[in-house]
């Protein structure tokens, strides 16, 4: 028999039920069964008056065991267990640290009370897995928090911190302190003793759901439909919540369960599960197991432009001390202002307090002298994409940094081997390709050169973990994984235009498919000139790079939104694309009179091209596994997560 995952202790007339099911106390069948047995045993114990439910390890119950989802559900089912806890003859008090998520939060909802450490959060992230809560989350939550707060929690899937959860009525007390084994345990016991001196509140299932304002459901449904773009779970979650507000408890529970089981077997849920596990595996690649990363504290960033400042901000957010280097005082002042601007934006959006923004700036220093990097553990270069400029930077770094300091380039198109040419100790060199804005975008492509030492590569992954990013290792080729696929995608989209498909129709097709933007409006936003200059550079170097439609636009001065027009026209100060007569005229000689394609076909064709390029990349060893290609597309290029990425969506990987 395997080790028990539940133990029972006691403090006077209060029992402590302690779950210990690493890593995240997920509700495996064994755990459900042992909790049920604990409820039976404590009901039968006349000396026990209340039960505190605590978890060992890093977190409270993080949810159902996602790895059981492909298998038939086994008894005891979670909704029954939640009812069983609610029906216990003694009140249960959930004592939450870390995260109470999904089924974990539902177990807490079955308890008569919930208390949580300040640092804890609670949530129902099921929609992020393509499902809805399956154990009363949609039915009990509105009984505590009302339908508006419940709708936000359930259709958005984002957890709430303890203080906000308390304000919403989802927990009863916030416990001060940090240590779950001491502060939380003591706080929960004190709460339990106090609660026993008062009459018990009603069970959650017996509370009514307050009727919302008239028009509430119609408004919610249309907003959710607009956001969903084909993603099923948020709308189905809303329907379940509505049922909870309009039907008796048992009927709403049956509706929720049926919806949950239906979605669990869906293609979208399979895709989102595959992404879930790929994201968790990415930061710790198997081939680096046992390789110790180097310690990182002080990091230098060369270049204070949009990319450099974004990287510096990401580093400061993660607590590294940062030294930003620029070539002269003027550029340095601009770099400092860029960094300050990023934190000011955080304050404006309510993500940072003024004091936090100040502290972020206080941990950054600014210099035009590379000698300031003498103590740096890592330096990331983010200067102009020109080989001569970059090599000059690395020559300076070799002169001023410790020989064991890691030196990284953020190049997106140059060959990192060429950037590193002539560098002493090339084993410490690596490519770290961030995506703009670097403090927001989750993807980090990690590009070793042949000399890169394994510890240096492992340090790249450790850095990604510290920054909360999704790292993907890429081999050397033009554009690495992401930009190489982007190039093929854009070329395929241009081919459709050449065949006579309307530009706006292609963009609309990709938006309908779940992308935030289509390929042409995205180019207008980012500017067409960067890719153009890169093609021109390759042509100047004697390579055969066929003329693109984008080249024609740039040559006519149409570089995108910043010049008032690119593929589309833009009214001054506006970002809304308008069909452009000028573009039509410019491109007319290259465009055939073709038959139109429907949007679904357009999207499938373009995703097919991405996947075909992904396959070529895998065959060349530039990407190590299909899930890496999918993670790059989802986290760097806006591929709809619920479609699983181009490799998953085209059946090239199943999990």
| Binder among 19, 38, 52, 103 for ligand T1G (CB under 6 A) | 103
Cβ atoms of 324 and 368 within 8 Å: the answer is no
Q: Are 92 and 131 in contact (CB under 8 A)?
A: no
Tell me, residue by residue from 244 to 283, as one string, x for binding to ligand T1G by CB under 6 A and - for no binding: ------------------------------------xx--
Residue 63 or 645 having the CB closest to ligand T1G: 63
Nearer to ligand T1G, 397 or 444 (CB): 444
Residue 188 contacts by C-beta under 8 Å, 6 or more apart in sequence? 52, 54, 93, 95, 115, 175
102 binds ligand T1G (CB under 6 A): yes
Question: Which of positions 114-133 make contact with ligand T1G (CB under 6 A)?
Answer: 125-126, 129, 131, 133
Nearer to ligand T1G, 73 or 363 (CB): 73
Query: Does 59 help bind ligand T1G (rule: CB under 6 A)?
Result: yes
Does position 58 interact with ligand T1G (CB under 6 A)? The reply is: yes
**Which of 121, 205, 412, 627 is an active site residue?**
412
**Nearest distance from C-beta of residue 641 to ligand T1G, angstroms:** 13
| DSSP code per residue over 355-407 | HHHHHHHHTEEEES-GGGGTT-SEEEE---S-HHHHHHHHHHHHHHS-TTSEE
Name 101's Cβ contacts closer than 8 Å, sequence gap at least 6. Answer: 61, 62, 63, 122, 123, 124, 125, 159
Residues 118 and 116: their CA atoms lie apart, in Å, by 6
The closest alpha carbon to 98, from 60, 64, 53, 65, belongs to 60
Q: Is 495 a catalytic residue?
A: no
Annotated catalytic, 410? no
Q: Is 106 a binder of ligand T1G (CB under 6 A)?
A: yes
State yes or no: is 494 an active-site residue: no
Q: In the set 19, 66, 173, 233, which binds ligand T1G (CB under 6 A)? A: 66
Strands (DSSP E) found in 401-479: 406-409, 429-434, 443-448, 470-473
Dist CA 171 CA 166 (whole Å):
5
Q: Active-site residue among 433, 494, 513, 613?
A: 433
Least distance from C-beta 23 to ligand T1G, angstroms?
A: 4
State the minimum distance, in angstroms, from the CB of residue 646 to ligand T1G. Answer: 23
Residue 401, CA atoms < 13 Å, CB-side half-sphere = 29
Q: Given 483, 521, 580, 633, which residue is catalytic? A: 483
Q: Of the two residues 48 and 288, which places its CB atom closer to ligand T1G in the complex?
A: 288
- Is 26 near ligand T1G (CB under 6 A)? yes
Pick the closer one to ligand T1G by CB: 280 or 590: 280
- For residues 194, 196, 202 and 203, what is the CA-based torsion angle, rounded to 10 degrees? 100
Between CA 24 and CA 1 the distance in angstroms is 21
Give the three-class secondary structure for 322. Answer: strand
Of positions 5, 24, 457, 549, contacts ligand T1G by CB under 6 A: 24
The rounded distance, in Å, linking the Cα atoms of 473 and 447 is 6
Verify binding: residue 157, ligand T1G, rule CB under 6 A: no
Q: State how far the alpha carbon of 241 is from the alpha carbons of 153, 252, 412, 572, in Å.
A: 11, 8, 46, 44
Reply yes or no on whether 433 is catalytic.
Answer: yes
Q: Which stretch binds ligand T1G (CB under 6 A): 21-29, 160-168, 344-352, 631-639?
A: 21-29
Which stretches of the chain bind ligand T1G, using CB under 6 A?
A: 23-24, 26, 58-59, 62-67, 78, 99, 101-103, 106, 125-126, 129, 131, 133-135, 137, 280-281
Catalytically active residues are: 412, 433, 445, 483
């Amino acid at each position: 028999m395997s080790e028990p995952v539940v133990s029972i202790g006691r403090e006077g007339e209060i029992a402590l039920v302690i779950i210990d099911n690493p890593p995240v106390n997920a509700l495996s069948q064994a755990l459900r069964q042992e909790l049920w047995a604990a409820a039976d045993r404590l009901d039968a114990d006349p000396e026990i008056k209340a039960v505190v439910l605590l978890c060992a390890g890093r977190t409270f119950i993080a949810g159902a065991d996602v790895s059981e989802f492909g298998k038939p559900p086994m008894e005891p089912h979670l909704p029954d267990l939640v009812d069983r806890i609610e029906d216990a003859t003694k009140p249960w008090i959930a004592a939450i640290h870390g995260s109470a998520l999904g089924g974990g939060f539902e177990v807490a909802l079955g308890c008569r009370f919930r208390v949580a450490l300040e640092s804890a959060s609670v949530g129902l992230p099921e929609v992020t897995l393509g499902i809805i809560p399956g154990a009363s989350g949609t039915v009990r939550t509105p009984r505590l928090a009302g339908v508006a707060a419940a709708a936000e929690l359930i259709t958005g899937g984002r957890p709430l911190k303890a203080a906000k959860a308390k304000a919403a009525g989802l927990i009863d007390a916030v416990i001060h302190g940090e240590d779950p084994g001491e502060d939380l345990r003591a706080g929960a016991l004190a709460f339990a003793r106090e609660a026993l001196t008062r009459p018990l509140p009603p069970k959650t299932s017996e509370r009514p759901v307050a009727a919302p304002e008239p028009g509430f459901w119609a408004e919610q449904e249309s907003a959710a439909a607009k956001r969903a773009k084909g993603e099923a779970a948020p709308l189905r979650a809303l329907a379940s919540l509505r049922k909870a507000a309009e039907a008796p408890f048992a009927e709403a529970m049956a509706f929720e369960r049926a919806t949950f089981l239906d979605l669990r077997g869906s293609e979208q849920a399979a895709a989102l599960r595959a992404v879930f596990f790929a994201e968790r595996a990415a930061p710790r690649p198997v081939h680096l197991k046992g390789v110790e990363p180097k310690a990182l504290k002080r990091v230098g960033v060369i270049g204070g432009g949009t990319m450099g400042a974004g990287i510096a901000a990401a580093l400061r957010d993660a607590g590294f001390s940062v030294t930003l280097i620029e070539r002269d005082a003027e550029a340095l002042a601009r770099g400092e202002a860029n960094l300050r601007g990023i934190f000011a934006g955080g304050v404006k959006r309510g993500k940072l307090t003024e004091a936090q923004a100040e502290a972020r700036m206080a941990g950054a220093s600014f210099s035009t002298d590379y000698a300031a990097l003498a103590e740096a553990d890592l330096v990331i270069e983010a200067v102009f994409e020109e080989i001569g400029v970059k090599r000059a930077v690395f020559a300076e770094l070799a002169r001023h940094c410790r020989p064991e300091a890691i030196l990284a380039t953020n190049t997106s198109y140059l060959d990192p081997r060429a950037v590193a040419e002539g560098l002493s100790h090339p084993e410490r060199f690596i490519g770290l390709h961030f995506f703009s804005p670097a403090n927001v975008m989750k993807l980090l492509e990690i590009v070793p050169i042949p000399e890169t030492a394994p510890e240096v590569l492992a340090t790249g992954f450790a850095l990604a973990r510290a920054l909360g990013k999704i790292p993907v290792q890429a081999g050397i080729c033009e554009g690495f994984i992401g930009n190489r696929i982007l190039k093929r995608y854009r070329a395929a989209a241009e081919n459709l235009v050449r065949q006579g498909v309307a530009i706006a129709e292609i963009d609309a097709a990709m938006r309908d498919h779940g992308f935030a933007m289509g390929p042409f409006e995205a180019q207008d936003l980012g500017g067409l000139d960067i890719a153009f200059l890169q093609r021109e550079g390759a042509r100047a170097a004697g390579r055969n790079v066929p003329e693109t439609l984008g080249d024609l636009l740039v040559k006519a001065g149409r570089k995108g939104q910043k010049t008032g027009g690119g593929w589309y026209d833009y009214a001054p100060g506006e970002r809304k694309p308008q069909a452009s007569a000028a573009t039509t005229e410019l491109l007319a000689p290259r465009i055939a009179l073709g038959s139109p394609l429907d949007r679904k076909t357009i999207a499938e064709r373009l995703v097919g091209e991405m996947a075909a390029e992904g396959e070529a990349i895998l065959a060349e060893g530039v990407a190590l596994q299909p899930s890496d290609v999918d993670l790059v597309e989802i986290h760097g290029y806006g591929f709809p997560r619920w479609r699983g990425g181009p490799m998953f969506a085209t059946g090239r990987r199943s999990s």
